[in-house]
A and B are shown apart, each in its own frame.
Chain A
Amino acid sequence: DIQMTQSPSTLSASVGDRVTITCRASKNIRNYLAWYQQKPGEAPKLLISKASTLEGGVPSRFSGSNSGTEYTLTINSLQPEDFATYYCQQYYMYLTFGPGTKVNIK
C-alpha cells in the first residue's frame, strides 16, 4: 500500500493568513493526488485533483503544487469558511487518504 502522511496534524491561523499543508507519499504517485475539505457533519468536498487542478467553483485562493513525492495545499488569505479539516488522497494505486490536517481559528 502507498502510505500518505500529512503535516501538520493541526494548525491555528487567523483570517487573512497564508496557510500551507503538506502531504507526502511513500512512493511516486505521479501527481495523482487530490485535496478535500471537510467541515463538521458534512461530506468531504473536492478542492483539487491531479495535484494542481482546481475544481470548478473552488475559490482561487486555494492552490496545489508538488515537488517529488511532497505535495502542498496552499490557502492564500484564509477566510472564515476555510476553517475545516483537509485531507489528501492518492489515486495512483489502491487509493489511500492522508490522516488529515485540522485548521483552527487562532
Chain B
Amino acid sequence: QVQLVQSGAEVKHPGSSVKVSCRVSGGTFTTSAISWVRQAPGQGLEWMGGIIPVLRTPNYAQKFQGRVTITADDSTSTGYLEMTSLTSEDTAVYYCARGVDRGVGASTVHFDHWGQGTLVTVSS
C-alpha cells in the first residue's frame, strides 16, 4: 500500500525560504515520479514540478523555474520541495503526489497517490 506522508505546516516571512518533505512508503520509490502540486486558498490545482529519482533530473513548470528546487533521497524514500523568495502569494497547501510515468518523464504523469498536504503560510 503506497503512502505519502508530508512534513508539518510552516509559517514563513516574506523573502524567506521553505523546504517541505514527502516520505513515500510502498511501491518503488526510485522509478516513481514524485511531484509537487499546490493549491492556494479557494483556488485550483497548480503543478510545480517533479522528479523521477532514478533519472535525477527534475522537471519544472516554467512559472517556478529558478525559484523552486525538487530533489529526492533514495536512501530514505523522501522527496523534497524547496522554494525561495516567498511572498504572500505563495500561501497555499502544497501536496506531493506520486506520478504514474508513461515513459516520457516527470512532466507527463497523472497522480494515483497523494500526500495529506502541507500548509505554508507566508506572512509578515
Taking Cβ atoms with an 8 Å cutoff, the residues of A that contact B are 1, 32, 34, 36, 38, 43-46, 49, 55, 87, 89, 91-100
A-B contact pairs, 29 of them (CB 8 A): A1-B62, A32-B108, A36-B111, A43-B114, A43-B115, A44-B95, A44-B114, A46-B110, A46-B111, A49-B100, A49-B110, A55-B112, A87-B44, A89-B45, A89-B111, A92-B108, A93-B107, A94-B59, A94-B62, A94-B108, A95-B47, A95-B107, A95-B108, A95-B110, A97-B44, A97-B45, A97-B46, A97-B47, A99-B44
Given A93-B107, A94-B107, A95-B108, CB of A87 within 8 Å of CB of B45: yes
A93–B116 Cα gap in the complex (Å)? 26
A44 touches B44 (CB 8 A): no
Task: Produce 1/0 per residue, B25-65, CB < 8 A to A.
Answer: 00000000000010000001111000000000001011000
Interface SS of chain B: strand
A-B contacts, CB under 8 A, total: 59
B44 touches A46 (CB 8 A): no
A89–B109 Cα gap in the complex (Å)? 10
Inside 8 A of A87's CB, which chain B residues have their CB?
Answer: 44-45
- Measured between C-beta atoms, what is the minimum distance from B96 to chain A in Å? 10
Inside 8 A of A100's CB, which chain B residues have their CB?
Answer: 44-45
In order of increasing CB-CB distance, the 3 nearest A-B pairs are A43-B114, A34-B110, A97-B45
A95 touches B114 (CB 8 A): no
